[in-house]
Amino acid sequence: MATKESIKKAYQLAREQYKSLKVDTDAALAKMKDITISMHCWQSDDVGGFETPDAELSGGGIQATGNYPGKARTIAQLRQDIEKVKTLVPGKLRLNLHAIYGDFQNKKVDRDKIEIKHFQSWIDWAKKKGFGLDFNPTCFSHPMAEDGFTLSSKNEKQRKFWVEHVKRCRKIAAEIGRQLNNPVVNNIWIPDGSKDTPVDRNTHRALLKKSLDEIFAVKYPKKYLKDSVESKLFGIGSESMVVGSHEFYLGYAIQNKILICLDNGHFHPTEQVGDKISSILQFVDELLLHVTRGVRWDSDHVVIFNDEIQLIAQEIVRAKALKRVNIGLDYFDASLNRIGAYVVGIRAAQLAFLFALLEPTDTLRAYEETGRTFERLASLELMKTKPFGVVYDYYCAVNKVPVGEEYISIIQKYEKEVLKKR
C-alpha cells in the first residue's frame, strides 16, 4: 500500500513535470471540485426498481445481462450500496433516480398515480447524506408500453397515460429541487420505435411533439427543475426507427430552450459525442451527458477511460463549458460486482476530466493556429504518458478515499460481508 508520504512525493514530482509544460496541477485539482458526477441508481439492481418485490427490466429496447449475486432488492440495500460507493470515490456525487425507484411501501402505485410522497424518503436521505438528486420518468417495463409506443402512441388512452406519468415526474422533480434547493435534471427518454420499416414515421413524431408540448405547458422555476430530452438511434426491437431521434430532440430542445441529453451509446458507432458538444453548445444553454460504453451496440457496459470519454471531457474543458454540462452516468452490467461497476465507472469519468484539465491547451492551440500539426500531434501523444494517474491518486488521498488499487479489496470485503448475504 502506498504511504501518504510517497503519494505526496510522487505528486510533487508529477507537478514539476507538468509545470515544465506550463500545466498547473494544483489549478487542475481545484477545478475538479466543479465536477459533480450524477451516478445512476439503476446499476445496483439491473434497472428493476421497487414497484413490486421482484421487479425486472422488461422491454424498452434495453437489456441488462448477467446474474452476478448481490443485486439490491430493497431501497435500504440500494442506499447502503450507494453510501458505500460514496466512500470509495473522491469528488461530489448526485444520485439519479428513475420513477420506479419510489418508496411505495409495498403498495401498488401505477405510473400515472405517483406523487411526491413516494419520494420524500429519498429527499430526506439525500439531504442527510449530501447528495443532489436527478430524476427520470420510467416509460418502459410496463403493460402500457408493451407495443413499443408511449408518448408517441396512436392509442390516445396509452399516450395520455404516459403524458400524465411524465407530467407527474416533472412535478415531483421540481419539488425535490425546491426541497434540496438544488435544481433537479428531469430527463425524458422513451423507447418508442419500430422493429421493421414503418410507413408512418411522421404521425408518431407529430404525436411525440404534441405530448411534449402538453407536458411542458406547465412551467416550473429553473432553479428547481431542468428539463432534458434524450435521443436514440435504435434499440432491441426498434431497429428500423426510433421516434425520438437526435434530429427530433435537438430541434425540440433548441426551440423550447431545454437541455438535450447526449448518451454516447445512442449514435452510429463511428460518430463521436465529443465532436457534437461544441456544435450543440452554440444553440442550447446546457447539456446532459449519459456517459456509457457501447460494445458493438448500445450495450451499456461499465464506463472505462477510453478515447471516447477522453474526447468528451477534452471538448468540454477546451470549450470552457464545465458549468454548462451536467455529467450523468448510464450503464447497467449485471455480470460483475455492481459496487465495483460504479466505482470503476465514476473514477474513469473523473479521470477523463482530470486528463483534460492537465492538457497544455494554450500551447496546443498555438501550434494549431500556426500550422504546426506535427508539434500538436507529438504533444498530444506525449500527454498520454504523463503521470496523470499520480495526480488522481493525490486527489483521492486529499479527499480521504482509497488510493489506486486499494478499493478493490475493500469491495471484495463488502461483497463477502454484505452482498453475498442478500
Strands 193-194 and 287-291: unpaired
Residues 272-291 binding Zn ion (CB under 5 A) are 290
Q: Which of 230, 315, 333, 415 is catalytic?
A: 230
Q: Which three cell numbers stand for residue 56?
A: 425486472
Q: Which of 246, 266, 276, 301 is catalytic?
A: 266
Q: Which does 232 bind (CB under 5 to 8 A by kind): Zn ion, ligand RNT, none?
A: ligand RNT
Give the residue with the Cβ less far from ligand RNT, 3 or 65. Answer: 65
Is residue 16 flagged as an active site residue? no
Give the residue with the Cβ less far from Zn ion, 286 or 330. Answer: 330
Q: Which does 150 bind (CB under 5 to 8 A by kind): ligand RNT, Zn ion, none?
A: none
Residue at shortest CB range from ligand RNT: 189
Is residue 301 flagged as an active site residue? no
Determine if 290 is a binding residue for ligand RNT (CB under 6 A).
yes
112-131 core/surface letters (b: 16 or more CB in 10 A; e: else)? eebebebbbebbebbeeeeb
CB of 47 to ligand RNT, least distance (A): 5
CB of 171 to ligand RNT, least distance (A): 19
Shortest CA distance to 236 belongs to which of 295, 179, 193, 188?
Answer: 193
CB of 415 to ligand RNT, least distance (A): 24
Determine if 330 is a binding residue for ligand RNT (CB under 6 A).
yes
Within 10 A of 8 (CB to CB), how many other CB atoms are there? 15
Q: How far apart are CA 95 and CA 131, in angstroms?
A: 6
Q: Which three cell numbers stand for residue 186?
A: 428531469
- The DSSP string of 329-389 is E----TTS-HHHHHHHHHHHHHHHHHHHHTS-HHHHHHHHHTT-HHHHHHHHHHHTTSSHH
Determine if 62 is a binding residue for ligand RNT (CB under 6 A).
yes
Q: How far apart are CA 116 and CA 353, in angstroms?
A: 35
Is residue 232 flagged as an active site residue? yes
Q: How many residues bind Zn ion (CB under 5 A)?
A: 3
Q: Is 398 exposed, middle or buried (0-12, 13-18, 19+ CB in 10 A)?
A: middle
Residues 74-133 binding ligand RNT (CB under 6 A) are none
Helix, strand, coil tally for the chain in percent (to 5): 50, 15, 40
Determine if 249 is a binding residue for ligand RNT (CB under 6 A).
no
| Cβ contact 300:62 at 8 Å | yes
Give the residue with the Cβ less far from Zn ion, 136 or 179. Answer: 136
Q: Which of 330, 333, 359, 415 binds Zn ion (CB under 5 A)?
A: 330
List active site positions: 189, 230, 232, 263, 266, 290, 298, 300, 330
* Residues in touch with Zn ion (CB under 5 A): 263, 290, 330
* Residues in touch with ligand RNT (CB under 6 A): 42, 47, 62, 136, 189, 230, 232, 263, 290, 298, 330
